[in-house]
A and B are shown apart, each in its own frame.
Chain A
Amino acid sequence: GNSVTQMEGPVTLSEEAFLTINCTYTATGYPSLFWYVQYPGEGLQLLLKATKADDKGSNKGFEATYRKETTSFHLEKGSVQVSDSAVYFCALTTDANTGNQFYFGTGTSLTVIP
């Protein structure tokens, strides 16, 4: 089946620290991989995505590389800011013809302190 496992939180970092949130997946078929961010009281916002092996998704200083050999899609940022405090979800989706529903990890809460 399809599932996503991501690093347990919460994570607390000082401003300008390096961030890594680990994500691994299992999938039937060839998935597309995503990172979503959720700020308090809000819905999910797409942060970045990658649709094939070795693709790198990037946005707002965040990056993640689709590693088929390790079935991973780890999220990184070189220098976090207080405004990055949020919950981050790794997700996958497969063929549009099968419904294209998303499978989410449990989320990792990030708090960045000044």
Chain B
Amino acid sequence: DTGVSQDPRHKITKRGQNVTFRCDPISEHNRLYWYRQTLGQGPEFLTYFQNEAQLEKSRLLSDRFSAERPKGSFSTLEIQRTEQGDSAMYLCASSLVAGGFANYGYTFGSGTRLTVV
């Protein structure tokens, strides 16, 4: 197991185009999280999945954003009609939650850096 993998590492796109990012979590982890980090700021929570169910979405996740985790394994984050304000690092994290309160091995990926020109 090589940790949380994100693809691509970098993406440059023109304003108005759609982009999709992929995250492969640690295989035994049941939770998967997406964060957005803009320059000079800390990461901000976007959404998370427990297995294949999307359980929470931040108000930062506008209608142009959609995330899926169809089989409870990898996840995709799509941004439609990109805007310059979408330029950021998109981070994925995964963890194993068991017993209601125990959270193990919360691990971040290296991120996908999106630049909208």
Interface residue ranges, A against B (CB under 8 Å): 4, 36, 42-46, 89, 91, 93, 95-97, 99-107
Residues of B within 8 A of A104 (CB): 42-44
B interface size (C-beta, 8 A): 27
CB distance from B45 to the nearest CB of A (A): 4
Interface residue ranges, B against A (CB under 8 Å): 4, 31, 33, 35, 40-45, 48, 55-56, 91, 93, 95, 97, 100-103, 106-111
CB distance from B57 to the nearest CB of A (A): 10
Minimal Cβ-Cβ distance residue in A for B113: A41
* A43, B2: Cα distance in complex, Å: 14
CB distance from B84 to the nearest CB of A (A): 21
* A73, B61: Cα distance in complex, Å: 30
* A49, B111: Cα distance in complex, Å: 22
Minimal Cβ-Cβ distance residue in B for A97: B100
